[in-house]
Amino acid sequence: MAVMDGTLLLLDVDGVLNPVRRSSPRFRRFECVAEGEWFRLLLDPRHGAKLTALRRETGATLTWATTWGERANTEIGPRIGLPPLPVIPIDGDPPRPPGVNLKTWHVAEYVRGRPFVWFDDDLGPADLEFLHGHPGVGEFLVVAVDPRDGLGDAHLDAARRWLTARRRQAAR
């Protein structure tokens, strides 16, 4: 395993691991109850192995960045073959500029200068501007995922390329 500098691989659930439509026969349907609400999930069991391989190749730490919070470890991770992962707490509604996603503020507070790749389907220009201007945020790559299709090999490859390029630069 490559040893990196605390690099994080941030995972959203809805729209990323749980697309809004069944984009491939590999996705399986699940139902769960969370906080008294029924949720329909479409999950690809292969995602766990692919994300674990990316973690193993790059040394980055897989971390949940989702409003599912700890429920991602009980409802999502086991269904795709991921062990319990660290969770970025997304609680409260801190003041933030217009157009900035609630998760963005919490991610910026959590990373503490560590580089990260963030797989998300709901970030826009205001989020990127916020991240670039936040004093606790260093290098990062946001990999935009189409919520209709969810996470695919091209997204994982983009993360792998960025992480590998960072590792090569650090070795110089």
Residue 58 pLDDT grade (very low, low, confident, very high; cuts 50, 70, 90): very high
**DSSP notation for 47-60:** HHHHHHHHHHHH-P
Residue 2 has pLDDT above 50, yes or no: no
Residue 95's pLDDT is: 86
* 7 band by pLDDT with thresholds 50, 70 and 90: very high
Which residues have a Cβ under 8 Å from the Cβ of 83 and sit 6 or more positions away? 77
Q: Where are the domains of the chain?
A: 8-171
Measured CA to CA, the distance from residue 83 to residue 52 in angstroms comes to 9
pTM of the model: 0.92
With a pLDDT cut of 90, the percent of the chain lying above it is 79
In this predicted structure, the answer to whether residue 36 has a pLDDT above a threshold of 50 is yes
Highest CATH level, class, for 8-171: alpha beta
b/e per residue 70-97 (b: at least 16 CB within 10 A): ebbbebbbebbebeebebbebeeeeebe
Sort strands 140-144 and 116-120 into parallel, antiparallel or unpaired.
Answer: parallel
**How would residue 25 be classed by pLDDT, with cut points 50, 70 and 90?**
confident
Structure tokens at 127: 């989020």
Residue 21 has a pLDDT of 84
